[in-house]
Amino acid sequence: MVVNIAVLASGRGTNLQSIIDNIENGYIHDACIKVVISDVKDAYALERAKKHDIDAVFIDPFKFSNKSEYEKELIRELQDYYIDLVLLAGFMRILGSDFVKFYEHRILNIHPSLLPAFKGLRAQKQALDYGVKVSGCTVHFVTQDMDSGPIILQECVPVLDDDTEESLENRILQKEHVIYPKAVKLWVEGKL
């Protein structure tokens, strides 16, 4: 059976690209990205999807009276594609409890820190401000509490004395592109 995947993204979509590449090269088998959905009309992630003949959908959150109505539309869209697994790839919205319950144990996220440290936005800046010597990235299950779900995989990255937020972000991103496809592969193969 092929696992139908949806990717929710708000930006460039580099983690999306790493998942696409690993499906196309056969590392992740028996899986297909059916749709990429963004809350940002001009997110480059949508262009990446189109380049690989993946449906690209913009759902404008500002057209809905509240978060719950927006997420109901997200669920309707995902159901139209018979989605088994939802991947968050730079999706800059916190999902509500109804959405998380509907896809319980079927939503993965990648975060640029070694959770539980440095949750939320600008995790690399948080790491630099705190003065840690090691940071990294985490793939985890999404739960109702932000960046708090069960950890699947983590990868460490040294924090260098001359690091900037951007240089640390770039090194962490390289590791994200390795561990996110690995976590997806484990989920697809029923090993999580």
pLDDT, one tens digit per residue, over 11-36 is 999 999 999 999 999 999 999 999 99
Q: What is the per-residue DSSP string for 126-173?
A: HHHHHT-SEEEEEEEE--SSTT-SPEEEEEEEEPPTT--HHHHHHHHH
pLDDT of residue 24: 98
Give the per-residue pLDDT at 116.
98
Supply the residues annotated as catalytic.
Answer: 111
**Residue ranges of the chain with pLDDT lower than 70?**
none
Category of 96 on φ-ψ map: left (φ > 0), alpha (ψ -120 to 50) or beta: beta
How far lies 11's CA from each of 26, 85, 92, 154, 188, in Å?
26, 20, 8, 22, 25
Q: What is the pLDDT of residue 164?
A: 98
**What φ, ψ does residue 86 adopt, rounded to 5°?**
-110, 125
Q: What angle is formed at CA 115 by the lines to CA 140 and CA 133, rounded to 5 degrees?
A: 140
Structural domain spans, the chain: 3-188
Q: What does residue 155 show for φ and ψ, rounded to 5 degrees?
A: -140, 135
Q: Is the dihedral of CA 82, 86, 87, 89 positive or negative?
A: positive
Q: DSSP for 79-123? A: HHTT-SEEEESS--SPPPHHHHHHTTT-EEEEESS-TTSS-SS-H
Query: 132-142: buried (b, 16+ CB within 10 Å) or exposed (e) per residue?
Result: beebbbbbbbb
Q: What is the pLDDT of residue 106?
A: 98
Topology of the domain covering 3-188: Rossmann fold (3.40.50)
Residue 162 burial (10 A CB sphere; 0-12, 13-18, 19+): exposed
